[in-house]
């Protein structure tokens, strides 16, 4: 499909495969955005293949990355811009991207150089939940991540779906000569090609590890991962939360393999350092694919996400955390925000997270104080009670229903995705 190779899907029911397997778009989970569909064993005729290729070609961006880079240096900045709509690119004029309320106005305006350096402030975020889900870091969280990366000694950041972090690094690099941190942005939002050169941005799909720019773009990425002059690399990614964890994990493993193949200083037995930013209720899914990872207590906040704002100002505390393969003790969390070091766990934890003597761990996932259930033999959310019917802890007013198939979100038996307790945050 226009977004690169499709993925092979299978429907499961009660833990068993059911029905024919089929190929569908890797990135769009809404058929309205991309309706690519093919049975696994389907014979596709030559004419249909040709039509499909033609369709894919006609749904690529109208300008190449190179053309966009060249246009960037035209002043005043008057060329038509691109928007991403229903999975595809459309030409549009700049102002419609800048101000939501001017959505249909088609006049042009001049953009200052300062604005050109902060595209994430300028571009209208794509909030289409199912496909793009662009939630931009709040300044506080972005600054924290960058300081942490620098303090840990990294000088290269592979920014996968983290345009705002990329932007902060670029602007820091232009201000401070001696502290050179570099970033390469990989993102599916092609609008960024209007702001960054081919060495700074690759148009990339993280659900199928597809570089739209072909071998040249792949080579750019590979080169970036070579730790020249001992500049250590870390990958930071903040994928859409609705994304399939196995697809993401498979792509990230390929990026890790790319890093390993550069073969610098005994990379071969190590993993590329990584921060995977994702909600805490995906912990077990992430650990399934990356057993070396652990979850940090730091709550990552967003600017344009009504729910996931900082502590008391937002409606709720953010459920988004940092998963990393670095030693937890080196991830220093800000004490002024209430995080403290647990000497027993050898990691920083949130203020409400109490060390449980029985579990021998700081067990809270959401920042509140959890309580230990002797019957479940683990700590549970403060609002939960032990249910003898279900033989586990749950919300007091839950309906006792048994489903054999594990929940899609947390993997536990006993409920479906729609009633997953981890999503309700209560």
Q: Is 391 in the site for Zn ion (CB under 5 A)?
A: no
Q: Which is nearer to ligand SAH, 3 or 394 (CB)?
A: 3
Spatial contact of 207 and 182, defined as CB atoms under 8 Å apart: no
- Tell me which of 7, 373, 413, 420 binds Zn ion, using CB under 5 A: 373
Structure token digits, residue 121: 């402030």
Spatial contact of 280 and 297, defined as CB atoms under 8 Å apart: no
Q: Which does 344 bind (CB under 5 to 8 A by kind): ligand SAH, Zn ion, none?
A: Zn ion
Taking the complex as a whole, how short is the minimal distance between the CB of residue 3 and ligand SAH, in angstroms?
Answer: 7
Q: Which is nearer to Zn ion, 6 or 362 (CB)?
A: 362
- Tell me which of 379, 407, 409, 410 binds Zn ion, using CB under 5 A: 379
CA–CA separation, 385 vs 358, rounded Å?
18
Q: Which does 164 bind (CB under 5 to 8 A by kind): ligand SAH, Zn ion, none?
A: ligand SAH
Backbone region of residue 4 per phi and psi (left: phi > 0; alpha: psi in -120 to 50; beta: other values): left
Q: Which is nearer to Zn ion, 389 or 424 (CB)?
A: 389
Q: Which is nearer to ligand SAH, 250 or 361 (CB)?
A: 250
List of residues 6+ apart from 108 with CB closer than 8 A: 78, 93, 94, 95
Spatial contact of 233 and 272, defined as CB atoms under 8 Å apart: yes
Q: Which does 358 bind (CB under 5 to 8 A by kind): Zn ion, ligand SAH, none?
A: Zn ion
Helical packing angle, 163-175 and 139-151, nearest 10°: 60
Taking the complex as a whole, how short is the minimal distance between the CB of residue 422 and Zn ion, in angstroms?
Answer: 16
Residues near ligand SAH (CB under 6 A) are: 27, 132-137, 161-165, 187-189, 204-207, 238, 240
What's phi and psi for 369, nearest 5 deg? Answer: -75, 120
Q: Which does 390 bind (CB under 5 to 8 A by kind): ligand SAH, Zn ion, none?
A: Zn ion
CA–CA separation, 49 vs 23, rounded Å?
14
- Find how far residue 150's CA is from the centre of its chain: 21
Stretch that binds Zn ion, among 9-17, 283-291, 325-333, 377-385 (CB under 5 A): 377-385
Structure token digits, residue 32: 């309205």
Spatial contact of 27 and 34, defined as CB atoms under 8 Å apart: yes
Q: Which does 145 bind (CB under 5 to 8 A by kind): Zn ion, ligand SAH, none?
A: none
- Tell me which of 95, 111, 332, 390 binds Zn ion, using CB under 5 A: 390
Q: Is 368 in the site for Zn ion (CB under 5 A)?
A: no
Q: How far is CA 226 from CA 181, 271, 274, 426, in A?
A: 14, 14, 15, 45
**Range 340-359, binding Zn ion (CB under 5 A):** 342, 344-345, 355-356, 358-359
Q: Which does 204 bind (CB under 5 to 8 A by kind): Zn ion, ligand SAH, none?
A: ligand SAH
Q: Is 375 in the site for Zn ion (CB under 5 A)?
A: yes
Residues within the interface to Zn ion (CB under 5 A): 342, 344-345, 355-356, 358-359, 362, 372-373, 375-376, 379, 386-387, 389-390, 393, 400
């Amino acid at each position: 499909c226009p977004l690169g190779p499709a993925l092979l899907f299978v429907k499961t029911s009660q833990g068993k495969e059911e029905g024919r397997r089929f190929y569908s778009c890797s990135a769009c989970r809404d058929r309205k955005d991309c309706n690519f569909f093919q049975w696994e064993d389907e014979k596709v005729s030559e004419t249909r293949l040709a039509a499909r290729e033609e369709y894919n070609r006609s749904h690529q961006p109208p300008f190449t990355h190179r053309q966009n880079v060249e246009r960037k240096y035209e002043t005043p900045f008057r060329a038509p811009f691109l928007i991403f709509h229903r999975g595809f690119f459309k030409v549009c004029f700049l102002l419609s991207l800048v101000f939501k309320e001017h959505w249909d106005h088609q006049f042009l305006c001049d953009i200052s150089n300062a604005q050109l350096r902060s595209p994430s402030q300028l571009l209208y975020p794509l909030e289409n939940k199912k496909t793009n889900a662009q939630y931009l870091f709040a300044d506080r969280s972005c600054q924290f991540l960058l300081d942490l990366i620098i303090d840990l000694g990294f000088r290269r950041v592979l920014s996968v779906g983290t345009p705002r972090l990329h932007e902060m690094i670029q602007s820091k690099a232009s201000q401070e000569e001696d502290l050179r941190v570099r970033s390469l942005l990989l993102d599916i939002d092609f609008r960024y090609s209007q702001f960054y050169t081919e060495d700074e941005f690759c148009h990339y799909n993280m659900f199928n590890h597809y570089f739209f720019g072909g071998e040249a773009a792949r080579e750019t990425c590979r080169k970036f991962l070579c730790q020249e002059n001992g500049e250590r690399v870390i990958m930071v990614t903040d994928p859409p939360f609705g994304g399939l964890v196995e697809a993401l994990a498979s792509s990230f493993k390929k990026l890790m393999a790319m890093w390993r193949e550069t073969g610098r200083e005994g990379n071969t037995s190590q993993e590329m350092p990584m921060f995977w930013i994702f909600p805490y209720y995906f912990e077990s899914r992430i650990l399934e694919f990356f057993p070396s990872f652990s979850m940090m207590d730091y709550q990552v906040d967003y600017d344009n996400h009504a729910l996931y704002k900082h502590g008391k100002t937002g409606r709720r505390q953010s459920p988004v955390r940092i998963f990393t393969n670095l030693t937890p003790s080196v991830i220093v969390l800000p004490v002024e925000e209430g995080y403290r070091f647990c000497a027993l766990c050898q990691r920083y934890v949130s203020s409400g997270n109490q060390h449980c003597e029985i579990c021998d761990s700081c067990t809270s996932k959401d920042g509140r104080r959890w309580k230990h259930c002797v019957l479940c033999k683990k700590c549970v959310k403060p609002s939960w009670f032990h249910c003898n019917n279900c033989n586990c802890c749950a919300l007091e007013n839950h309906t006792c229903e048994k489903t054999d198939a594990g929940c899609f979100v947390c993997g536990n038996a006993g409920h479906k995705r729609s009633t997953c307790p981890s999503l309700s945050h209560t």
